[in-house]
Amino acid sequence: MNMPTKTDDINTPDDAALARMTENMAKVEALGARLTQIMVGREGHQSSLDAPNQELFSKAAQAYWAEAVHNPAKLIENQVSFWSKSVTHFVEAQQALAKGKLQAPEDKTAKDRRFANPLWETHPYFNFVKRQYMINSEALSEAVNSVSDLEPREKQRLGYFSRQIIDMMSPTNFLATNPDALERAVATEGESLIKGLENLISDLEANNGEMIVRLADEKAFELGRNIATAPGKVVFRNRMFELIQYSPSTEKVHATPVVIFPPWINKFYILDLKEQNSLVKWIVDQGHTLFIVSWVNPDSSYRDVGMGDYIEDGFLTAIEEVKKITDQPQVNAVGYCIAGTTLSLTLSLLKQRGDTSVKSATLFTALTDFSDQGEFQPFLTDDFIDGIEAETKDKGILPSIIMARTFSFLRSNDLVYGPAIKSYMLGDTPPAFDLLYWNGDGANLPERMAMEYLRGLCQQNKLAEGGFDLLGHHLELGDIDVPICAVGCETDHIAPWKDSYRGVQMMGSKDKTFIMTQSGHIAGIVNPPSKGKYGHYTNPDMSLAHEDWLEGAEFHQGSWWPRWGKWLANHAGAQVDARIPGANGREILCDAPGTYVTRKANG
């Protein structure tokens, strides 16, 4: 009888498990070869869209060394601090190992959800790697902050790209320094790595070789079945959009119909994800005849479509069709994000034409004053916009994957690296999450429209500063005189509420309401009363600067929807019999959510 040795107590793989792992590693190598083929044949994009030009880093280096010459003590202090922390860290790790125990020294670093695995604190190897990363990150951030001889916008841009480097170099992003991934690989005998590579290859194939991490399980959703399910009919279609009229849920409705213009950067069904949080259903339940525009997902044949086409063949055509269908002289219009910006242009145009088709306008997270470009500033400099211009000239469109990648890297740990680790290292299937499914269902932008918007509105801020020339008119915010209700979101990083507020201040309307809701660009808008989650602020005095407006604002618990609902009802007219789609003889083209919404950006 053989006595067990000490090593028999260690949980090590047996020969059969090692054989299976070897077999799986061979599969990994085969998948690696397939991955190489994809990358070799990838379509690619303008390299200038990947990083700033060298001028930014050259200026930063010059400013850094100029600072060192004029204030060498500061540079020495930062360097000595970095050296001291690194050496102290090394000594502490050595002392812990010298005690003969496989343990890390006491770890007093701040909590970070990326390092949730206990091994980051207890295992000397992983703890050393983590703590040195934190020291390096702090040193790089301090170096950037110490640069003083740079334009504010250049320093903001330098700060953004340095944070991208810091986030990218996190040890959690590499297999050899990620204990979660290593433990999963051993526990599954390498199967997790195979699934991870399969997930990576699938994402690359879906995006023509571009690495866009799939955030949701696309197989879990089907438009019209378990997402975008509000009943309605497509009652009009042209080259720009399908018009959906929703079926009423009340016997009586307000006379004046409501038409929503969603952003064409994404799909309209963010407002109809599911019954519990559907703004579409809620508006219908309040007794309104509701229409929504479902924009076409353009391909290269739309390269010459500009902002003017979106207004003439989109906004104005939709408004006229809604008026015809309902036999009403006016509509209440809603614009979300870029569609709110364009609705503002449309209102100025209608004023100059003497057209009173719009009775009131509601703007969701809409920018009309782009003087403060916020977190998008790093992407609105000439080198990046020049790259976009070259990309659109080459392809006829600004591909949705370029925009998706840009938006994602504003929250890189949450929307890029975290999901990539779960999908590619751990081999997990993305979650069945409707919001993330919508987030990944992007749309392209036509070449002309994209450049008019980026150059004329975002970069040059023409609408707020002197006026924007379009369709033979000089459009200005002061022209807008219809009742306005604008909704901004407190933590919106795409359309900061203070900038939305400032643009509304410039409008000529005497009847203005501004609501600031808690949360961000999506969750702040899609906030049904049933959740009781986010509150909102109001202040009738819109003559104040934004900080003073907020200081004097009243906070209200719960969703802003009912407050807006009362405002909308005041502009919606008397009660009439509910309107059934097609009842007036209008041809029904298909059921909601229509056909345009199903077109994939890369399909």
Phi and psi (nearest 5°) for 44?
80, 180
Strand 290-295 relative to strand 331-336: parallel, antiparallel, unpaired? Answer: unpaired
Angle of helix 72-98 relative to helix 124-146, nearest 10 degrees?
A: 170
Query: At 26, which amino acid appears?
Result: A
Task: Please report the DSSP string for 36-76 in residue order.
Answer: HHHHHT-----GGGTS--HHHHHHHHHHHHHHHHH-HHHHH
3-state secondary structure 74-85: HHHHHHHHHHHH
Only one residue has tokens 């079926």, namely 247
Q: Decide: helix, strand or coil at residue 199.
A: helix
Task: Answer left, alpha or beta for residue 473, where phi above 0 means left and psi between -120 and 50 means alpha.
Answer: beta
Cα separation, 297 vs 307, whole angstroms: 15
Exposed / middle / buried, residue 3 (Cβ in 10 Å: 0-12, 13-18, 19+):
exposed
The three-point CA angle 371-372-375 to 5° equals 140
Q: Tell me the sheet residues that pair with 252.
A: 577
Q: How far apart are CA 219 and CA 221, in angstroms?
A: 6
What are the two backbone dihedrals, phi and then psi, of residue 253, each rounded to the nearest 5 degrees? -135, 160
Name the catalytic one among 337, 458, 485, 489: 337
Q: How many CB atoms lie within 10 A of CB 91?
A: 11
315 near 282, Cβ under 8 Å?
no
Q: What is the CA radius of gyration of the chain?
A: 28
- Distance, CA of 322 to CA of 235 (rounded, Å): 10
- Residue carrying the six token digits 């340095």: 162
**Beta bridge partners of residue 590, listed in sequence order:** 234
Q: Strands, DSSP E only, in 326-386? A: 331-336, 358-364
For the chain, how long is the longest CA-to-CA vector?
102
CB 376 within 8 A of CB 454: no
Tell me the pairing of strands 358-364 and 331-336: parallel
Residue 259's beta-bridge partner residues? Answer: 291, 333
For 360, which DSSP code? E
Say if CB 487 and CB 362 are below 8 A apart. Answer: yes
Amino acid in position 202: S
Structure tokens at 226: 């378990």
**Whether residue 337 lies in the annotated active site:** yes
CB hemisphere CA count around 78 (13 angstroms):
19
What distance in Å separates the CA atoms of residue 222 and residue 231, rounded to the nearest whole number?
Answer: 15
Tokens at residue 233, please?
A: 């009919």
Catalytic residues: 337
